[in-house]
Amino acid sequence: MIEPEREQSVRALLPLVRRLARRLKRFVPSLDVDDLVGDGCIGLIRAIDSFDPTRGPQLPEYARRLIVGAMLNGIRRMDPVSERARRIVRDGENQRYALAAARGEVPGAEEMEVRCPGYRRALAAAYRGQPLSLDAPLPAGEALARDWGDDPAQIVERRSERAWLAAQIAALPPRHRAVVLMHYFNGTSLRTVGRQLAISPQRASQLHISAIARLKRRVHAAAH
């Protein structure tokens, strides 16, 4: 595509980028629309540069997938809680609930720190949603949430589950990913998804079922 046509295509599809950013913002209210638009523009440019008019859908539909994919990658990069912190909290919570079931009472923070080193600091990161070095000492006077009636594992998931899910969707095979994004993010019926992907409604339904099964397996694997 020559440069004037490229610039024209970018200008023509910028409203699509903004529209998709607003939709994702409704799905994840904590996101910043400008950040989403910035990531989406990267996907838009990639789509324009790689678009082949002799294959597949028209440019807007082709670009839509790359735009959303770039936005999802941006969400993944913004996940404030490290995988290591999530793993430590998850392991600690498994031990915590096992002890609670055996004793009939929930163990305290000090005991959990002995049983699961790093748990206290990882829990602080989960509550505050900030990246922390798990090997560094806690800052003097740092206050931790002490409501042990809450489920810290759920707090971790509430802060990171959307970003984690976005990463898992982005890792799906191309057609599986396209079906999930078009159906759930764009509100497109599976029949219409099939038509836009040049496949039968039955095949679109199969891809949808397969994609959800893959995501469920990854959720299960992450929880164990």
pLDDT given at position 193: 84
Domain 1-78 of CATH type 3.90.920.10? no
The domain segmentation of the chain, as residue ranges, is 1-78, 83-159, 172-224
Tokens of 211: 């994609």
* CA separation, residue 136 to residues 88, 106, 124, 129 (Å): 15, 27, 13, 17
Least confident of 36-40, 57-61, 74-78, 216-220: 74-78
At residue 133, what are phi and psi to the nearest 5 degrees? -80, 120
pLDDT one-digit tens code per residue, 14-62:
999 999 988 888 766 767 788 888 888 888 888 888 888 887 778 888 8
CA within 13 Å, CB half, 1: 18
CA torsion, ordered 40, 44, 46, 48, to nearest 10 deg: 180
Tokens of 223: 């929880």
Architecture of domain 172-224: Orthogonal Bundle (1.10)
In this structure, how many other beta carbons lie within 10 angstroms of the beta carbon of residue 183?
18
User: Where in 29-154 does DSSP place strands (E)?
Assistant: none
pLDDT one-digit tens code per residue, 147-179:
344 454 454 444 445 666 777 787 788 888 888
Three-class DSSP category at 30: coil
CA within 13 Å, CB half, 144: 17
